[in-house]
């Protein structure tokens, strides 16, 4: 089956009804129940990639709480009329408050091959972020050792000698100043929990909307951290695949465009 690109899939959690909006449909259902939209940016027989909105957990929540994994399984189950359980493996995970590309594997073979790519760090991971203050220098690589602070239930900068600490590395480039802050392009070189949020806040540049790691400038939806792009090797076709997530409305309202 050829790869397909879609616009928005609207899912009603209470009724498990799915409305694919590509081709575009003028109809809307006036249900009183809460709905969540999943924007699908890529799919084929092996992969599914979605543009996660702010406030939607990727996984790991109660079964009656909306998440990327539950909504995506509902979509696959109904779109392809699959009986029984649907297999989907989360390959990239985002905090509930952030937005952007989440990659899922539709087969165990694809999941194994993608896991190996992430383990070897051959996946290119690019984020866009808004931080408070004019960050200096304009281009830099940040290297820290991080560990979980159990008492405060968050991550923290740690000593390299700490046996629980792991290296955290990223590169950033300041694209321009925006409203008392800086618009950054970030290449994530490792994948530690809350890494970008922690490393930038530790240097006095918390993300807009941040509350856990310092206090950033206000932001309309979640935190200003967007997983802009993943570049992987397709697990079956063995060719480079670029997955790009369009910006949410909260970013466009600030004059930032794709």
Q: Domain-by-domain residue ranges, the chain?
A: 8-120
Pick the catalytic residue from 44, 64, 95, 162: 95
Q: What is the pTM of this model?
A: 0.85
Cα–Cα distance measured from residue 148 to residue 168, given in angstroms and rounded to the nearest whole number = 13
Contact call for residues 186 and 196 (beta carbons, < 8 A): yes
Cα–Cα distance measured from residue 112 to residue 106, given in angstroms and rounded to the nearest whole number = 11
What pLDDT shows up at residue 40?
A: 94
Q: To the nearest whole number, what is the mean pLDDT of the chain? A: 86
What pLDDT shows up at residue 63?
A: 76
Q: Sign of torsion, CA 29 35 39 40?
A: negative
Which CATH topology does 8-120 take? Answer: Pseudouridine synthase (3.30.2350)
Check pLDDT > 60 for residue 26: no
* Residue 95 CB coordination number (10 Å): 19
The verdict on whether 95 is a catalytic residue reads: yes
Q: Sign of torsion, CA 69 72 78 79?
A: negative
> In sequence order, what are the beta bridge partners of 144?
168
Classified as helix, coil or strand, 145 is strand
> In sequence order, what are the beta bridge partners of 183?
130, 176
The 10s digit of each residue's pLDDT in 195-254 is: 999 999 999 999 999 999 988 899 999 999 999 999 999 999 999 999 999 999 999 999
What pLDDT shows up at residue 112?
A: 98
- List, in order, residues 6 or more apart from 163 with CB less than 8 Å away: none
What pLDDT shows up at residue 61?
A: 84
């Amino acid at each position: 089956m050829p790869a397909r690109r879609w616009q928005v899939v609207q899912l009603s959690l209470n009724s498990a009804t799915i409305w694919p909006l590509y081709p575009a449909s003028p109809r809307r259902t006036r249900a009183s129940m809460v709905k969540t939209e999943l924007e699908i940016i890529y799919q084929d027989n092996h992969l599914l990639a979605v543009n996660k909105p702010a406030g939607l957990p990727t996984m790991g929540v109660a079964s009656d709480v909306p998440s990327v994994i539950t909504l995506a399984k509902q979509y696959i189950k109904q779109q392809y009329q699959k009986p029984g359980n649907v297999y989907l493996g989360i390959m990239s995970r985002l905090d509930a408050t952030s937005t952007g590309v989440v990659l899922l594997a539709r087969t165990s073979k694809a999941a194994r091959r993608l896991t190996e790519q992430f383990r070897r760090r051959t996946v290119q991971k690019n984020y866009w972020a808004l931080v408070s203050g004019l960050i200096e220098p304009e281009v830099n690589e940040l290297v820290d050792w991080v560990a979980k602070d159990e008492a405060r239930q968050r991550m923290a900068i740690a000593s390299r000698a700490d046996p629980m600490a792991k290296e955290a590395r990223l590169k950033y480039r300041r694209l321009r100043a925006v409203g008392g802050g800086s618009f950054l392009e970030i290449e994530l070189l490792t994948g530690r929990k809350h890494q970008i949020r922690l490393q930038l806040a530790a240097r006095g540049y918390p993300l807009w909307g941040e509350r856990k790691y310092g206090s950033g400038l206000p932001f309309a939806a979640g935190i200003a951290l967007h997983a802009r792009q993943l570049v992987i090797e397709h697990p079956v076709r063995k060719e480079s695949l670029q997955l790009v997530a369009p910006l949410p409305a909260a970013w466009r309202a600030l004059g930032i465009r794709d």
